[in-house]
Amino acid sequence: MSEIKGKFFLLLAFSLAGTSVVTARMLAEKLNSFTITAVSLGLLLLCLLPVYANKTAKTIRLLKITDWRMLLLQALFGIFLFRIFLLFGVHLTSTVEAGILTGAAPAITALLAWTFLKEPLSGKTILGIACTIAGIALLQGLNLQGVGFSRDHFWGNALILCAAASESTFNVIARKQGAKGCSTRLPMQPMVQMLLVSAIAFVFCLFPALFEQPLPSIQAIGREEWAALVWYGLVVTALAFIFYYAGVQRCDAYTIAAFSGMMPLTSMLLSVSLFSERIGYVQWAGGILIISSMLLIGESQKPQEAKKCSLGLSRKNNKIF
């Protein structure tokens, strides 16, 4: 029963995370990238920080320099760089391709873990990485007819891959942090950790947002854009994080990797329904290859070791659901 709940939470988490690409596309038409990130995170902090003010203050007093360093890295790669690359990228490429390309994160994570953490690559992991490379090649226009696309389109896809690489770097940092016995140096509640990371990311983007002259553009947006900003902050960041953490407590690592395929799938389906974007055979083939790579990389992990790590984490942290 617990595992079924975990899979349900992961399904919700990655489905909500998949809406980030579509939300970014909607907001990028009216607001600049740093402004979007600053306002959405500001709304998150404004709504949730008063509720968890006491717990957050108690946690801050217990944090050491190494803990602050980890929080800074998580904010930099997990939120700030990921969102900035994503928001700049959706200006130049299609929402469908942007969503699919975010699915390259597990393959990039595996390569980074092999390079920096010296983790071995299994046959399925290597095959998954190869599928990711082939899928990206198809999405970059390398089809059988040799039809290419504009330079802006190419750089748009490159920026989306940078966003996926930022997420992968965040995953490797978290993995390195918990390498010894799958433990964590941050014994804090997930909501408190999310608020601290979001606050740091808010500070990162606040100064560059001022150069975008945000006030006139913010005053010009309508209800749809404000609803998208609230969704981007409270749902895509906060709620998806809660569901993700609840799923992590109940599922193995390979199950988590498998369900991460919901993120590009959700983004692709929403792009077709909301923006009437067309999906060609090449895009379908590239998307299938990238989603298949996530399944292969997820299955390549040893279930017993992953389960041991998951159970260890669940004992050290309070359950959310």
Kindly state the average pLDDT of the residues 70-81: 91
CA-nearest of 268, 260, 299 to 285 is: 268
Q: Binning pLDDT at 50, 70 and 90, where does residue 193 land?
A: confident
Q: Which of 11-15, 88-92, 149-153 has the lowest mean pLDDT?
A: 149-153
Kindly state the average pLDDT of the residues 29-46: 94
Q: Are 217 and 35 spatial neighbours (Cβ–Cβ below 8 Å)? A: yes
Structural domain count, the chain: 1
Q: What are phi and psi of 196, to 5 degrees?
A: -65, -45
pLDDT at 314: 43
In 82-108, which positions are buried (b, 16+ CB within 10 angstroms) versus exposed (e)? bbbbbbbbbebbbbbbbbbbbbbbbbb
Within a domain: 89 = yes
Q: What is the pLDDT of residues 143-179, one digit of tens each?
A: 444 445 577 888 888 999 999 899 888 777 766 654 4
Q: What is the mean pLDDT of the chain?
A: 79
Q: What is the pLDDT of residues 271-313, one digit of tens each?
A: 888 877 777 777 778 778 877 877 777 665 554 444 444 444 4
**Domain containing residue 134:** 2-316
Kindly state the average pLDDT of the residues 37-61: 94
Kindly state the average pLDDT of the residues 76-95: 90
Q: What is the pLDDT of residues 95-152, one digit of tens each?
A: 878 887 887 877 787 788 788 877 777 788 788 888 888 887 776 654 444 445 577 8
The winner for highest mean pLDDT among 149-163, 209-223, 230-244 is 209-223
Q: Which residue type, as a one-letter code, is found at position 135?
A: G
pTM of the model: 0.79
Within a domain: 321 = no
Q: Spell out the residues 6+ positions from residue 95 whose beta carbon is closer than 8 angstroms to its own.
A: 21, 22, 25, 267, 270, 271, 275, 277
pLDDT at 94: 82
Question: Per-residue pLDDT for 54 more than 90?
Answer: yes
Within a domain: 173 = yes
